[in-house]
Amino acid sequence: WYLDYDFRGASTEEMAYVRVIRTGQNLATLAADVGPVVDANPGDLWILGNEPDRDTQDGRTPDAYAEFYHEVYSFLKARDPSAQVAIGGVVQSTPLRRRYLDMVLSAYQARYGEPLPVDVFTVHGFVLREDQTWGAGIPPGLDAFASEGMLYELADHRDLEIFKTQMRDFRRWMADNGLRDKPLIVSEYGILMPADYGFAYEQVRDFMLGSFDFFNTETDAETGYPADANRLVQWWSWFSLNAPAYDFETQEGYNGNLFEPSSHQINALGVDFGQYVAEHAPAGTDLVLDSVQMQPPLLVASAAPMTVTVSATVHNLGALDAQNVRLRVWRNDGAGAFTLLATSASHSIVPAAAQNVTLHAEWPFAALSAGDNPLLLELDADNGGLENVCANQQMAYVLTVFEQELGKRLYLPVAVR
């Protein structure tokens, strides 16, 4: 999977694209700017904001972020009920940043009379000083709590034990707030400081590979994600793929890039990344929606059946069992509105490319109208957060209802030379 801090990219069969709507988005033009993207990509994951706790990124006070989140969340869910929505990641998991999130949750509850709704949680994983000298600064609206800031030193930026503690503490915070059953994505982390500051290739490599080991193996029976064998973290994204290296003249750029942005040549760190993934990539599910059949195959309004049944062939190319897989059938009502027509019985699907499972879903014919009925077929599983490839779990289908029987004779066109 990948992200580019925008929402206009595209998933492929090999890689899912995670969409990000920044807090600078004009909410009055959501329908025009974002609506067509939502319509074309049902079920996608949307992150709302990027580091809303940092003035130099999407800085918003807790109240302002809660309002932004509510407006965009409501828009996305109304337009696409299957959309997955995530809260924007704060810079790091420290007491001050978790206080910021506490205030966001409280502001949302006070303003809208209900808990903040969320499908996925994200957090960033940097180790940065929290004051006004350097680092992450103080979150907007939290000046009164500046004394709670962590005064990390420069060398702490690559301290793997501090990093691990941050992740454990964040999962504990999620559990304490009734959010343990949400997947956690570390959507940005790495080493930002330049090599000349004590962050040479070897130090960056060791930090990166150590973090991978931690993510792959760290579990907690009280705070981990139950659908992922109690692992703390489900997805993560190293920063960065190809951001420019730090330039002392311009004072811009970062450390930790896997590729050179101009030449596109892979760096030594990129080679390390690739080797690790090849050897240690965590097992996941990979559900594939292969083929679909409708029964009856021809629908005529004048001779309507009582029900319509769709049969979908599914298999699992991953390495883990997909638990309680369901087929959902949605009717696309236009303008981003969807109506759930049917859900199949659940079925666990083992990893076997050659083993196909057929799921059946049935709904009343009366739910259809004459003419073309655009449908969305979607696979869902209890452990769907472990899906390796998301783009092959959905299929658009147009089901046509004819107003009267077709003629008994079919005529082929005549080709004249």
Q: What is the pLDDT of residues 368-380, one digit of tens each?
A: 999 999 999 999 8
Contact criterion met (CB below 8 Å) for 44 and 9: no
Q: Rounded to whole angstroms, how far apart are CA atoms 222 and 231?
A: 10
Q: Rounded to whole angstroms, how far apart are CA atoms 104 and 332?
A: 34
List the 184-189 sheet strands across, edge first: 121-124, 184-189, 235-238
**pLDDT (mean) for 356-370:** 92
pLDDT band at 359 (very low <50, low <70, confident <90, very high): very high
**Topology of domain 287-402, CATH:** Immunoglobulin-like (2.60.40)
Structure tokens at 373: 């009925």
Share of the chain above pLDDT 90, in %: 74
Predicted TM-score (pTM) of this structure: 0.75
pLDDT digits (tens, 9 = 90+) for 96-118: 999 999 999 999 999 999 999 99
Instruction: Examine the pLDDT at 23 and tell me if it is beyond 80.
Output: yes
**CA-closest candidate to residue 20, choices 68, 77, 87, 119:** 87
pLDDT band at 354 (very low <50, low <70, confident <90, very high): low
* Cα pseudo-dihedral 344, 313, 83, 350, rounded to 10: 90
pLDDT digits (tens, 9 = 90+) for 190-209: 999 999 999 999 999 999 99
Q: Rounded to whole angstroms, how far apart are CA atoms 155 and 306?
A: 70
Amino acid found at 351:
P
**pLDDT (mean) for 145-154:** 98
Burial of 144 per CB tally in 10 Å (0-12, 13-18, 19+): exposed
Q: Which helix (H) or strand (E) holds 271?
A: helix 268-280
Contact criterion met (CB below 8 Å) for 378 and 341: no
**CATH of segment(s) 19-280:** 3.20.20
Q: Rounded to whole angstroms, how far apart are CA atoms 126 and 57?
A: 14
Instruction: Examine the pLDDT at 211 and tell me if it is beyond 90.
Output: yes
Amino acid found at 65:
Y
Residues near 298 by beta carbon (within 8 Å), at least 6 away in sequence: 402, 406
Which residue is listed with tokens 């990027």? Answer: 50
**CA-closest candidate to residue 112, choices 173, 71, 58, 61:** 71
For the chain, the structural domain boundaries read: 19-280, 287-402
Looking at every residue in the chain, the average pLDDT score rounds to 92
pLDDT digits (tens, 9 = 90+) for 227-237: 888 999 999 99
pLDDT band at 281 (very low <50, low <70, confident <90, very high): low
What pLDDT score does 417 carry? Answer: 44
- Phi, psi (degrees; rounded to nearest 5) at 86: -125, 145
Contact criterion met (CB below 8 Å) for 245 and 255: yes
What pLDDT score does 163 carry? Answer: 99
pLDDT digits (tens, 9 = 90+) for 307-321: 999 999 998 887 788
Share of the chain above pLDDT 70, in %: 93
